[in-house]
Amino acid sequence: MTDAAHWRDIKVHLLVRYEALVDLLDAIQLLDDIEQISKRIASQWKYFANATNWRLVLPASADFLVIDGSRGTAQVSLVTSLDAWDARNWQQQLPQRSLLPLTDDHGLLPPDHLLLPNSKEIMVLPFARDGICIGLLSMSAHQLPFNDLDMKFIPLMGRQFASRVADILLRQQATQALMERATRDSLTGLFNRGTILERLSSQLALARRTQQALSVILLDIDHFKVVNDTYGHAAGDDVLREIARRLLNAARDGDHVGRYGGEEFLIVLYPCNQAKALCAAERFRQGVAESSMFINAAPPPGLQITISLGVASAEDFPQIGAADLIDHADHALYTSKATGRNCVTAFIATN
Amino acid sequence: MQRYLIVEYQDAEPATREVYEDFMRTTGTTLVPLWLKTLGHSAALARAYWERAKGTLFHGNLPLPLKEMIVFVVSAKNGARYCSACHAQAVLSLDKTLQFCDLQDFLKSDAGRSLPPYYQSVVDFATKVVADANAVGDDDFVLLMNDGFSREEICEIIAVIDMATMFNVYTSSLRIDLDPEYQAIL
């Protein structure tokens, strides 16, 4: 009688289990969004395993992606450091099974959602690919301890899940890296010439549509050639990096800072009128000039580096194009150079 | 006294025929059930009832066997002869190893020995809702949520319970006779 009942039990499960399994495998392959995949898993997993409360931890660059499943749904979060219990398990990377309540775990407790009143057992499963741990799954058994079928289905689905999320993360990282490579200047980390010009064009178009002013600052390092000739190109590179850092420091949200040429930088400010742009330019000038730069080759007290700046605004030239705007800023920059350097000049139209 | 009128497919208006056809297409059967034919005099009502059943049973996140089980249990609790027979048939057709007597036993003993644990908690919840919807407490919800059901899924469970009750009232008050392929369980 017990055998017949057990057999019937399995049969009744089967249809629901297989449907859920197929649905999940489908979703895992077809969906591209980690949160959507996680939510589907959280909702369907209960139909083929004792898997209602779980946590999946995966490495994500320097951080960790933590996916928590409970109450039929999932939450995804990025954390810089793991909880003590997760950290210990991540470090050990060993499978574990322990009945609840936990006896001695050196005071480390699993996350709250794994410790429900009716939780009977905790399982930890690491998943490896090519010898590297790609994910760690912690799961608690609800109402009954894990049975044989659970121990078949949970590792199977867990591995598929972890693998897929790891692949998506990898693709996201690769895309990000490619984007950076394509849009950033490798030495300074600022936008490269092509990208800053593109930004200027799109922001100008936006400015025209919204009828809000846009301004640009073109700036140039004073006597840069002397630095290179005196201390070498490596020192020159250090100076460029330091200037970029100081410019970014002085920049506000929404300012776009780019490396325009060898020693020239272009900053796009929007929305920003001429008066505000002049203030901003002064801020940048001061940010560079106020303290000396310590670079390897130069003796103390370091190098005193200054920049000259030209400011131009589209405020009085509503239909102006990018090239002409930069030209205005260039004229103003020339004036700054001619009047002693380490200063800011605004373009004024002379008709 | 027969309390209802039947509109067969060949006698139905085009709008009603559309509903009959949609039913057959969706369920994959060649026969229109009696309950739908009793609504054939009003295409709007036929469509309304069918759409309610279709949207509840054939869409959403819950597996069909679970939904059929809910409808079966609710119908039995409501003493609905027609619906309990119809959905006993549905449950049996979804699982060939179950027999009619198993379902009878299930109703009598109220024990879910042959069902997965989450079935049991859903059936318990359905029983409570049917007994008195106002008496359902937060802890009843928590029990379901701890079994892994999200709020959306619980809403679907309630929609199934409610749909079953709607059909129970309709078929019971009209005392609709059983279709030939159904066997009375009550």
A298 versus B178: the higher-pLDDT residue is: B178
Let me know: does A37 contact A166? Beta carbons within 8 Å.
no
Q: How confident is the model at residue A2 (pLDDT cuts 50, 70, 90)?
A: very low
Using an 8 Å CB-CB cutoff, list chain B residues near A118: 146
pLDDT score of A220: 94
pLDDT score of B69: 87
**Domain shared by A92 and A140, yes or no:** yes
Tell me the CATH number at A234. Answer: 3.30.70.270
Domain membership of residue A32 as a residue range: 2-182
Mutate to test the interface with B, among A3, A6, A8 (most CBs of B within 10 A): A8
Show me where the domains of chain B are located: 9-57, 64-173
The answer to whether residue A100 is domain-embedded is yes
Which of A148, A182, A216 lies at the terminal end of a domain, its last residue?
A182
Quickly count: other Cβ atoms within 10 Å of residue A32's Cβ.
10
For residue B64, the distance in angstroms to the closest alpha carbon of chain A comes to 8
Which residue in the block uniquely carries the two structure tokens 């309390």?
B3
The model's pLDDT over B76-116, given as tens digits with 9 standing for 90+, comes to 999 999 999 999 888 887 766 667 877 787 777 655 455 66
Asked if the bond preceding A101 is cis, omega within 30° of 0, the reply is yes
Q: Which of B47, B55, B48, B27 is nearest to B155 (CA)?
A: B55
Which of A182, A216, A234 lies at the terminal end of a domain, its last residue?
A182
Using an 8 Å CB-CB cutoff, list chain B residues near A17: none
What one-character DSSP code corresponds to residue A113?
G
Q: Look at residue B156 and tell me whether its pLDDT is greater than 90.
A: yes
**Domain shared by A324 and A251, yes or no:** yes
Residue B148: which of A7, A9, A46 has the nearest Cβ? A46
- C-alpha A120/C-alpha A84 separation (Å) is 22
CB pairs A-B closer than 8 Å:
75
Cα B65 to Cα B29, B51, B61, B90, B110: the distances in Å are: 18, 19, 12, 8, 18
pLDDT score of A277: 95
pLDDT score of A106: 75
Let me know: does A217 contact A310? Beta carbons within 8 Å.
yes
**Fold of the CATH domain B64-173:** AhpD-like (1.20.1290)
Q: How confident is the model at residue A44 (pLDDT cuts 50, 70, 90)?
A: confident
For residue A146, the distance in angstroms to the closest alpha carbon of chain B comes to 13
Kindly write down the DSSP assignment for every residue of chain B, as one continuous string: --------GGGS-HHHHHHHHHHHHHHT-SS--HHHHTTTT-HHHHHHHHHHHHHHHSSSSS-HHHHHHHHHHHHHHTT-HHHHHHHHHHHHHH-TT--HHHHHHHHHH---TTS-HHHHHHHHHHHHHHH-GGG--HHHHHHHHHTT--HHHHHHHHHHHHHHHHHHHHHHHTTPPPPTT-----
Q: How confident is the model at residue A244 (pLDDT cuts 50, 70, 90)?
A: very high
Percent of chain A with pLDDT over 90: 70
The model's pLDDT over A95-112, given as tens digits with 9 standing for 90+, comes to 999 998 887 667 788 999
Q: Look at residue A10 and tell me whether its pLDDT is greater than 60.
A: no
pLDDT score of A315: 86
Residue B117: which of A12, A15, A144 has the nearest Cβ? A144
Mean pLDDT of chain A: 90
The answer to whether residue A187 is domain-embedded is no
Q: Which of A288, A339, A347, A281 is nearest to A313 (CA)?
A: A347
Reply yes or no on whether A282 is catalytic: no
**Domain shared by A65 and A165, yes or no:** yes
- CB-CB under 8 Å, A5 with B146: no
Mean pLDDT of chain B: 89
Tell me the CATH number at A96. Answer: 3.30.450.40
Q: How many domains does chain A have?
A: 2
How big is chain B by its Cα radius of gyration, in Å? 17
Q: Look at residue B39 and tell me whether its pLDDT is greater than 70.
A: yes
Percent of chain A with pLDDT over 70: 95
Q: Which of B82, B64, B66, B74 is nearest to B26 (CA)?
A: B64
Catalytic residue among A263, A264, A282, A315: A263
B108 Cβ contact partners less than 8 Å away, ≥ 6 residues apart: none
Residue A71: which of B113, B117, B145 has the nearest Cβ? B145
Which residue in the block uniquely carries the two structure tokens 């006993």?
B88
Quickly count: other Cβ atoms within 10 Å of residue A293's Cβ.
19
The model's pLDDT over A185-201, given as tens digits with 9 standing for 90+, comes to 999 999 999 999 999 99
- The residue-averaged pLDDT of B119-131 equals 89
**Domain shared by A144 and A258, yes or no:** no
Q: How confident is the model at residue A9 (pLDDT cuts 50, 70, 90)?
A: low
What one-character DSSP code corresponds to residue A299?
P
Coil/strand/helix, residue A251: coil
Q: What's the order of all strands across the beta sheet hosting A132-142?
A: A73-79, A63-70, A53-60, A132-142, A119-129, A96-99
Let me know: does B113 contact A5? Beta carbons within 8 Å.
yes
pLDDT score of B186: 81
Let me know: does A347 contact A215? Beta carbons within 8 Å.
no
- The residue-averaged pLDDT of B138-158 equals 93
- In A71-130, the residues whose Cβ lies within 8 Å of chain B are 71-73, 116-118
pLDDT score of A7: 47
A279 Cβ contact partners less than 8 Å away, ≥ 6 residues apart: none
**Domain shared by A129 and A212, yes or no:** no
The answer to whether residue A137 is domain-embedded is yes
Let me know: does B156 contact A126? Beta carbons within 8 Å.
no
**Domain shared by A176 and A211, yes or no:** no
**Least confident range of A132-141, A178-187, A315-324:** A315-324
pLDDT score of A295: 82
